[in-house]
Structure 1
Amino acid sequence: MDLDAVRTFVAAADAGRFQEAAAELAITQQAVSKRIAALERDLNVRLFTRTARGARLTADGQAFLPHARELLRVAERADASVRPGRRALRVDVVNRRIAAAVLLQDFYRVCPQIDLDVVTLAGDVDTAAAAVGAGTVDATFHAVPGPDHRLPDGIGAAHVLDEPHELLVGPRHPLADAAAVTPAELAGHRIRMPGLAAGTEWGAYYDELAAVFGLTIDVVGPIFGNEALLAEIAASADVATLVGAGSWYMWPDAYDLRRVPVRDPAPVYPMSLLWRLDNPHPALGRLRSYLQGRRTRPDGEVWTPTWVRRPGATPGRSLPR
């Protein structure tokens, strides 16, 4: 159905005169007549009766009018769903607990007028970059491998977050009362990370971290969820896990879990924002500016894997054990 004809019909019904409808739509009266005549042919009914005082809706015209209004409302919503600046800015955070999600919530507090749609897509940086390129999301947070890794053409990447690690332990763990630990001090302790996905950038990160510092990262077993892992850590004297310093975790007070900073060097997970260079959404620029303004570097010596290029640090560098 021709929406221009439907729009003309509604304007003529509201105005009661074709001439006034033509003025409202900035077209000629003849064009109004032609559009309505075409709509009547499509519907095979008469919508108006001409009178000395203008145009009066027929019974069929009265029946069609509420549906015509709804057609125009649906068209408006469809247009708004894809038009940059009128639809929500859609951002992928991989997981709603990670620091990127916390940053997005802070951004929303600063800019509450921006309609934000936070989603979690499964997959590594290549899958996420493909989703950005396809327009499934406007932006995503991922660690981007070094210069040998090629992102799709037209995808921009900006380093926006360096997240240090903390050791999450229960109250009976030998390191529970430590003010901080070094990666070398974690050697020999069991670090549980069940379901750590191989072939992803975060899987590669922890593989290299374990190799460099001699860590034992246990990835065996099914994934029962964070609640089950937190309960296991609380009940154990030797199980721990690594979490991002800016990530959210909640547990019952009775667990008495401890978050111990890892330092000297601090293992840092570097995250970038990926977006399509030709994406015109006005909120995307606001988000990029906000993230660049919030970016800080951890104090002291840091460690990053060799496959990540991080400004201001030597990839793979660590202190002697």
Structure 2
Amino acid sequence: MDLETVRTCAAVADAGQFQKAAAELSITQQAVSKRIAALERQLGVRLFTRTPRGVEPTIDGQAFLPHARELLRAADRALASVRADRRPLRVDVINSRGAASGLLRDFHRAHPDVDLDVVMLFDVDTAVAAIRSGAVDASFRAVPAPGHPLPEDIAAVRVLDEALHLLTGPAHALAAARSVPLAGLAGHRIWMPGIVPGTEWACYYDDLVAEFGLTIEATGPNFGSDALLDTIADTPALATFMSEQTRLVWPAGHGLRRVPITDPTPVYPHSLLWHRDNPHPALPALRAHLTPRALDAPGTWTPPWTRPAEPPHPGH
């Protein structure tokens, strides 16, 4: 069914006259008549009947018009979904409670006129594929993780290093500590269900374990943050890593403790990724808002693949 013919039918019904509808559509009255006649032939019914003041819908026309208007609304939504200047800015974050989501909330407060769609994709490969296909405009990820090189058409800039804390229950051996050196976690069981081998966050923790001799257990099903907090609260032998800016609420009876980690402090590196040819008008504002914060600060640790390459020595 031709949408312009359907649009003409709706315009005639609204205007009550072929002449007024023609003026609103910027076409001739003859063109309006031809479109309505063609639609009536296609449907096999009369849509309008003439009156002393113009035209009005027949019973069949009245039955057809609500569906015609819905067709037009669906067409408008379809167009808006692919027009960068009319659709929300779609941004992927690794989770809804972490630092990246906080950065987006800050951006929204600074730019309340920008519509945002926030999505959560699985890993960096899924995020890059979505950026390249246009399904999302940008993503917060740790890059370039081993085995996950970025294509040349994907740009990335590191925007935030987020410190990790140790989260313990009240009976854990380190619960009363004001801080704990990273090397002091060796021998303690750190439970982090949900780490998927090969993902960028798994690469991060693999390097952390290798460099400092830690024990991270990813065994058991991942029932979500509430179940994780319940287990940590009730199991003195277990602790977990929790990002400093992760927003969680737990029952007062859990008695959970956040213990800062020092010497060095492990930080999770967040980079913003986007397609170099993305035309969304709000994307430059998002990039400008995300000025890099606390990158490679003294006393912090990140995996080697997140650090800038050292310049070559003279003579090399």
After TM superposition, the score normalised by the length of structure 2 is: 0.88
Shift in Å at residue 166 of structure 1?
0.7
Identity of matched residues, %: 61
- Matched with 1:306 is 304
Deviations 1:8-34 (A, max 9, x none): 122222223322222111112222122
Corresponding residue for 1:11? 11
Instruction: Tell me the secondary structure at the aligned position of residue 167 of structure 2.
Output: strand
- Does the 8 A contact of 1:145 with 1:309 survive in 2? no
Equivalent residue for 1:236? Answer: 235
Q: Which amino acid aligns with 1:105?
A: R
Query: Could you tell me whether the CA contact under 8 Å between 1:168 and 1:260 is conserved in 2?
Result: yes
User: Alignment partner of 1:150: what SS?
Assistant: coil
Distance 1:219 1:22, change over 3 A: same
Matched residue type, 1:37: A
CA distance in 1 between counterparts of 2:169 and 2:261 reads 16
Q: Give the Å deviation of 1:167.
A: 0.9
Q: Which residue of structure 1 aligns with residue 284 of structure 2?
A: 285
Aligned residues: 310
**1:80-229 equivalence runs, <5 A:** 80-122=80-122, 124-145=123-144, 150-229=149-228
Distance change (3 Å), C-alpha of 1:90 and 1:311: farther
Aligned to 2:263: 264
CA contact (8 A) 1:270 1:310 kept: no
Corresponding residue of 2:293:
295
Q: CA deviation at 1:61?
A: 2.9
Q: Secondary structure at the match of 2:20?
A: helix
Give the 3 Å change call, closer, same or farther, for CA 147–289 of structure 1 in structure 2. farther
Distance 1:195 1:59 in 2: 60
Structure 1 residue 131: Cα displacement: 1.7
> Secondary structure at the residue paired with 1:160?
strand
Quick check: 1:130–1:152 contact (8 Å CA) kept in 2?
no
Alpha-carbon deviation of 1:75?
2.1
Q: Distance in 2 between matches of 1:34 and 1:139?
A: 47
Alpha-carbon distance change, 240 to 9 in structure 1, aligned in 2, over 3 angstroms: same
Q: Distance in 2 between matches of 1:87 and 1:277?
A: 19
Which stretch shifts more, 68-77 or 1-10? Answer: 68-77
Q: In the alignment, is the contact (CA less than 8 A) between 1:264 and 1:300 conserved in 2?
A: no
SS at match of 1:101: helix
Q: Does the C-alpha gap of structure 1 residues 20 and 176 become closer, same or farther in structure 2, counting only changes over 3 Å? A: same
Superposition CA RMSD, Å? 2.5
Q: Which residue number corresponds to residue 36 of structure 1? A: 36
Cα offsets for 1:93-145 (capped at 9, x unmatched): 122222112222232333333332222222x2122211221222222211112
Q: For the residues of structure 1 that align with 2:181 and 2:275, how far apart are their CA atoms?
A: 39
Aligned CA distance change for structure 1 residues 147 and 157 (closer, same or farther; 3 Å): farther
Match of 1:315 in 2: none
* Closer, same or farther: CA 167–50 of 1 in aligned 2, 3 Å: same
2: CA distance between counterparts of 1:47 and 1:260? Answer: 73
Unaligned runs of 5+ in 1: 313-321
In structure 2, give the amino acid aligned to 1:140.
Answer: S
* 1:220-269 Cα shifts (integer Å, max 9, x gaps): 33323322322222223332111111112221111211111112222121
Q: Which residue of 1 aligns with 2:314?
A: none
Aligned-residue offset at 1:52: 6.3
Unaligned runs of 5+ in 2: 311-316
Aligned residue identity for 1:297: L
- Partners of 1:147 and 1:309 within 8 A in 2: no
- Aligned residue in 2 for 1:77: 77
